[in-house]
Amino acid sequence: MVLCLFWYMNPIPAATMDWFALGQRYEHGEGVPRDVVRAVQYYCHAAELGSNPARFRLGWLYAGGGLLPRDDGLAAAWLRPAAAAGDRASRRVLKRLGHQPPSRRRCILPDGREWVDLALPPTRERIESWVRALAPRYGLDPEMVISLIEVESRFDPKARSSKGACGLMQLLPETARRFGVADIWQPLQNLKGGMAYLRWLSSVFKGDIHLVLAAYNAGEKAVWRYHGIPPFSETQGYVKRILALYRQAGSGREGAVWPSGRVLAVSPQ
């Protein structure tokens, strides 16, 4: 759980931009053999992680770009979130397509098969790559989020606690709803919901990493009630384990500045 060493301003993570750039290279054969399948796969990765340029490219290709089977409904499904985020090109293409019924976003390859890589159980390596791409969008240090996931679920997307917490970041159903998670078991949605919660906790507790971690485990009300880390052995151990993993990752350094502007002091408690 937690706060980043500085607040990132770029709305598209660098890793996401790398996937988008790779998609462009394979789509146009720039320095590599032209490969539409790889282009779609890279665009799909980038789009699912929030790249509006990648969403536009997929929408454009499905709207009649010539390289993929035309599917106006699928094109609209990819263009809508980009248009909602203010992308003018996506708005123009959507207007040209006219009314299209809601459709699930999918990555259909030139031969008509659906690329389902994102729907398969992800490896730890892929989960870490998603975290490194997504965390900066929430003002979070990826290494801290990775440390939290290790303690929460050991990177098991199907993990479920005795209290009903679910998925990689062990979200309770009410927390998932609160932060806009439609499918708590979908790994990317679970990650986004957990990181949205962490960003909120960071704001509430003024960047105090110990309180943010304690609140993620025991709830913000418990932290308020005890004016600090609650005297629960589970919560106290939880905070210590995550901070220990964070230090091992080499990111928990004294003197780092959090989004709140306060100096980070990762000392044992």
Contacts of 122 (CB under 8 A, 6+ apart): 130, 157, 187
Cβ 132 vs Cβ 141: under 8 Å? no
pLDDT of 257 strictly over 60: no
Q: What is the pLDDT of residue 16?
A: 57
- The percent of residues in the chain predicted with pLDDT above 70, rounded, is 85
Work out the average pLDDT over 158-171: 95
| pLDDT over 70 at 87, yes or no | yes
Place of tokens 């990111």: 251
Tell which wins on pLDDT, 36 or 18.
36
Measured CA to CA, the distance from residue 269 to residue 240 in angstroms comes to 7
User: Measured between alpha carbons, how far is 8 from 133 in angstroms, rounded to an integer?
Assistant: 12
Find, among 269, 224, 212, the residue nearest to 244 by Cα.
269
What six digits make up the tokens of 110?
């030139």
Say how many C-beta atoms besides its own lie within 10 A of residue 267's C-beta.
Answer: 10
220 exposure class (CB count in 10 Å sphere: 0-12, 13-18, 19+): middle
Residue 253 confidence (pLDDT): 46
Greatest CA separation for the chain: 63
Instruction: Map out the domains of the chain with their CATH numbers.
Output: 14-119 (1.25.40.10), 124-248 (1.10.530.10)
CB 140 within 8 A of CB 191: no
Identify the residue with better confidence: 129 or 16: 129
The pLDDT mean for the chain works out to 84
For the chain, the 3-state helix, strand and coil shares in percent, each to the nearest 5, are: 55, 5, 40
Give me the mean pLDDT over the 222-238 stretch. Answer: 96
Q: Does position 51 have pLDDT exceeding 70, yes or no? A: yes
pLDDT value of residue 100: 92
Q: How confident is the model at residue 263 (pLDDT cuts 50, 70, 90)?
A: very low
pLDDT tens string 114-130: 886 655 678 898 899 88
- 263 in helix, strand or coil? strand
Task: Please compute the mean of the pLDDT values over residues 154-172 and round it to a whole number.
Answer: 95
Active-site residues, by number, are 152
245-267 mean pLDDT: 53
